[in-house]
Amino acid sequence: MKAPVVISACLAGLKTRYDGTARTHPLLKQIMEQAIPVPVCPEILGGLGIPRSPSRFIGGDGAAVLQTKATIVDETGADRTSFFVRGAEQTLQLVKLISPVLIIFKEGSPSCGLRRVDIEGSWRDGCGVATAMLRSLGFPILSEEDSLSDFLTRLSGKMVHKADQPGEF
């Protein structure tokens, strides 16, 4: 039985990035052979369109946004924080519904970044809003820059055991 894997929609080949492009994951075919990919774009779920102005953090990363210590603005200076928070909340609802064995998010995204995001015009250590929300609840998250070989090896076994708790796979 194939297990569900949430993947950033742009990594799944959908043209959902701010500039209307995709960044298809190089192992997408193997992921699809061994798991049920569930594409998600928190920014679209939050109400932002395609294309949209690129956005960056002011005052901190996604975790700081969730603590109301930072904001997200687009290149025109418009505050987009509420869209990103709403998108993270909607993504959380989806993740709770399907209980994925893994989430694969796009590095650098203000929603999905795992280790680095644009904070005030510079790439800095930090994570996106959806990542911060899901991480705080223990869901397992990797980026497209991480090695998926161990995960794919586990999935290729005869049986995949779904985790009893988020964060275990």
For 90-144, write each residue's pLDDT tens digit: 999 999 999 999 999 999 999 999 999 999 999 999 999 999 999 999 999 999 9
User: By percentage, how much of the chain surpasses pLDDT 70?
Assistant: 91
Is the confidence at residue 81, as pLDDT, over 50? yes
pLDDT at residue 30 in the model: 85
How far is Cα of residue 114 from the mean position of the Cα atoms in its chain? 8
And the tokens for 35? 């798991």
Q: In what order do the strands lie in the sheet with 3-8?
A: 35-40, 3-8, 102-105, 141-143
Looking at residue 166, its pLDDT comes to 41
Q: Say yes or no to pLDDT of 163 above 70.
A: no
Residue 154 has a pLDDT of 64
With 50 as the cut, is the pLDDT of residue 82 above it? Answer: yes
Q: Which of 73-87, 113-127, 153-167 shows the lowest mean pLDDT across its residues?
A: 153-167
Amino acid 72: pLDDT: 98
pLDDT confidence tier of residue 37, bands split at 50, 70 and 90: very high
Q: Residue 126: which of 143, 138, 140 has the closest Cα?
A: 143
Decide: 129 and 62 in contact? Cβ < 8 Å: yes
Checking if the pLDDT of 168 tops 90, the result is no
Render pLDDT for 56-72 as a digit per residue (tens, 0 to 9). 999 999 999 999 999 99
